[in-house]
Every structure is written in structure tokens, then in C-alpha cells.
Amino acid sequence: MSDLVQPDIFCLAPLRGVTVRTFRNLQESWFTPPDCAVAPFIPTFAGEKIKPLLLKDVDPELGQSVPVVPQVIGKDPDQLRTLLRAFKAMGYTRADLNAGCPYPFIVRKGRGAGLMRDEAAFARMLEVGCEELPQGFSVKVRLGIDRPDLLLARMTVINGFPLREVTIHARTARQMYEETVDVEAFAAALERCRHPVVYNGDLRTRADFLQLKARFPQITRWMVGRAAAIDPFVFARLTMDTPPPRDATRLKGFLDDYLTACEEELYGPAAVLGRMKELWSYLHQALVGGERLWKGVRVCRTVHEYRRVVDAAFAAFPGFVPDEALRGLQPEVGVA
Ligand SMILES: Cc1cc2nc3c(=O)[nH]c(=O)nc-3n(C[C@H](O)[C@H](O)[C@H](O)COP(=O)(O)O)c2cc1C
């Protein structure tokens, strides 16, 4: 065993519709980027023929400033194999399996968190993943579907394969993204898991990080989702005791570049507006009076109108809410 202290690694979580390739690629230009990112899930499909559009988000030829791990959602091992081989053909040696998506229509079909319900199907997916990507396959799970003990029941299966890591979002699927994270149930799963564990859930401020690190000193991998959409300066705030102040000019520069990239990449103004509104549904939370601005953005019907609303907001910039207002964890949670 090495005595060297492992550095903490911060990973951008997959958020479908938000942490897409252009969002990820602009991190380095405007903010402190994460160490790595897991891309939003790509569904498995029947047949051998792969539509290029399906893989566009993780196409390395389109540029990747942050190291990316592609993610798969599905329940059919043969289909998983096809998709993993397509990733390998693009040069990837890693991929992640989504066993945590909580949406009922996905869970009912035995995908996402629903995969955890069927032990044999779950095991088969892990088996194929580890066969195709030895040392490179990982899984992202929740604590369970209705109750937080299903993950514990699946730990024998999870421990039975040579997974690279296991990301645990410390909620059940039934909780969706509501209520507080269940740090106790996470601790129980961590204790039983023989793989490196990535903590995920409501990590938003340096105080959250220090609180979790004090409780789980053995964890060195941290995944951050919504906080990166609420405040793209998050990785500086998480990793530095005194980060540089957040800067409205940078945020505006990022937003302008993101809009341009979306206009180049997406088909039609409705799709572009949809993408920007998806981001703003989080981003407004970091701005003073953000609710009012969000109402203004939400009703924009053209890109021109959107530009006018956002330009006006930055011309009279209201300021960022203080760090404490962004905290994800209850201050007492996780104190041993
Ligand atoms: C809009 C949205 C889209 C998401 N898409 C994915 C996805 O594609 N794959 C995945 O594993 N998790 C997905 N998640 C879950 C996040 O990766 C993450 O686990 C969750 O947001 C909790 O982390 P946080 O509290 O840091 O946001 C999504 C969550 C949201 C809110």
C-alpha cells in the first residue's frame, strides 16, 4: 500500500440536455474545468448499424477539452456489446453503465435504476462491459429504487466484476432529485463496495466538500452535476480555499459562445432556445434576483428576444448569490 495521499478528482456528471459536448468543451475556455466528465447517456439499440448522430456527443474528432467517459443506458447485453465496440472504434478504453436513471418510464422498462431490480440482467450487463473494456468499465447507481437497501443487496454482484469504479448517487430512484441525500445509506454501501467509489449528490460548495471529506476521507473521486449548471465556476470554488471571485464577464462570454455553438450544432431556433432554457433553469439560481430573470428567459420565443433579455440582464448585472446560499448539504449531515 502506498502512503502517498491521492489527490481529489472532480468529475462533471452527465446531465442530459445540459452537460453536452459544447458545454463540456467550453469549460476550459471560461472556467476552471473539471478533471473529467461522464457524458449524458446514449441508449442501446437493436441491430448492428449505428446512426452517427447517436455518437456525435462523444465523437473525439469534434474536440474534447475535458477527458470524457461515454455512458450507456440499456438492459440488453448484446446491444451493450455493439455500443461498446463502437466506442472502442472511436478510441475509448472506458465506458460507464447507467443503473441510476430514476424516471418511472425508464425504470419500468428495466433500464437505468430499473436494472438494479433484476439481479441476473444487471450481472450480465456488468459481465459484458468488463469483457469488452477490461479495467475500463464502470457503473453509476442509486441506493435503490423504492428503498435504500437494494444497492447493498446488489453489492455481491457489483463486487464480483473487475469494475474500474462505482459512482453512487446517494438517493433512491423514488426520491428523484428531491429531499436530502442519504449519507448514512451511502456510508453503508461504501463500506461494502470493494471498488473505488465516486461520491455523487448535492455537492455544491467547498463547505459541502470539506464536510463530506471529513466523513469519508477514503474517497478521492467526486462527481458534480447540477451545481455545474447552476454555477459554472463551481470547480474553482470546490477545489480552492480562496477561489478568484466569480466574474460576470466570463459567464457572459461563456453564454455567448454556448449560444453560438448551439446555433451551429442544432437544427432550428426552437432547439437552440430549448437548450439555452434548459441551462437557465439551473443557472438563474446563482444570480441575485435570478427568479425574475428566469421568468423573462423562459417566455422568450425567438433567439433574438433571448439575446435581448440576457444582454440587458448582464448590462445591469445583479451579482452572484453568496456561496453559503448554494450549499447542497444540511450543515449537520455527515458530521461523524
Ligand atoms: C437534467 C438531468 C439529466 C441527467 N442525465 C443523466 C444521465 O444522462 N446519466 C446519468 O447517469 N445521470 C444523469 N442525471 C443524474 C446526474 O448525473 C446526477 O447523478 C444527479 O444530478 C445528482 O448529482 P448532483 O446533486 O450533483 O446534481 C441527470 C440529472 C439531471 C437533473
**Which mean pLDDT values do the consecutive 10-residue runs of the chain (336 residues) have?**
79 98 96 98 91 95 95 98 97 98 97 98 98 98 97 98 98 96 97 98 97 97 98 97 96 98 96 98 97 98 98 97 94 62
Which amino acid type is present at position 321? V
Residue 70 Cβ < 6 Å to ligand 1: no
The CB-side HSE value for 19 (13 A sphere, CA atoms) comes to 28
- Which atom number of ligand 1 is nearest to the Cα of residue 171? 22
Count the residues in the chain. 336
Counting from 1 in the atom list of ligand 1, the atom nearest the Cα of 73 is: 9
Residue 113 Cβ contacting ligand 1 at under 6 Å: no
Nine cell digits for residue 147: 428503498
- Asked whether 148 lines ligand 1 (CB < 6 A), one says no
Contacts of 159 (CB under 8 A, 6+ apart): 192, 193, 194, 195
- Counting atoms of ligand 1 from 1, which one is nearest the CA of 40? 8
Which one-letter DSSP state was computed for residue 320?
A: B
Q: For ligand 1, is residue 238 a contact (CB within 6 Å)? A: no
- If you take atom 14 of ligand 1, which residue's CA is the nearest one? 15
Q: Give me 240's grid cell.
A: 480552492
Neighbours of 5 (CB within 10 A): 8
> How far from chain centre, in Å, is Cα 289?
26
Of residues 144, 155, 237, the one with CA closest to residue 193: 155
- Supply the residue whose CA is at minimum distance from atom 5 of ligand 1: 15
Tell me the sheet residues that pair with 223. 11, 200
- Give me the DSSP letters along 124-173: HHHHHHHHHSTTTEEEEEEEESSSTTHHHHTHHHHHTS--S-EEEEEEES
Compute the C-alpha angle 227/178/193, nearest 5°: 80
Residue 286 Cα to ligand 1 middle (Å) = 19
Separation of alpha carbons 114 and 108, rounded Å: 6
Residue 100 CA: which ligand 1 atom is closest?
11
Determine the CATH number of domain 9-238: 3.20.20.70
* Cβ contacts of 194 within 8 Å, gap of 6 or more: 159
| Domain extent listing, the chain | 9-238, 248-315
Per-residue cell: 1: 500500500
Residue 294 CA to residue 177 CA, distance in Å, equals: 20
Cα distance between residue 216 and residue 181, in whole Å:
15
- Tell me, what's the pLDDT at 47? 87
Instruction: Identify the pLDDT of residue 3.
Output: 60
- Closest-lying ligand 1 atom to the alpha carbon of residue 98: 11
CA gap 206, 210 in Å, rounded: 6
Ligand 1 site, residue 329, Cβ cutoff 6 A: no
Distance 209 CA to ligand 1 centre (A): 18
Give the residue, by CA position, lying nearest to ligand 1 atom 10. Answer: 14
Q: Which of 42, 226, 326, 329 has most ligand 1 atoms within 8 Å of its beta carbon, as the pocket-test mutant? A: 226
Helix (H) or strand (E) holding 281: helix 269-283
How far does the centroid of ligand 1 lie from the alpha carbon of residue 112, in Å?
A: 12
Instruction: Extract long-range pairs of 181-186: CB within 8 Å, 24+ residues apart.
Output: 181/328, 181/329, 181/333, 182/143, 182/148, 183/212, 183/215, 183/329, 183/333, 183/334, 185/143, 185/148, 185/149, 185/151, 186/143
71 C-alpha to center of ligand 1: Å?
A: 12
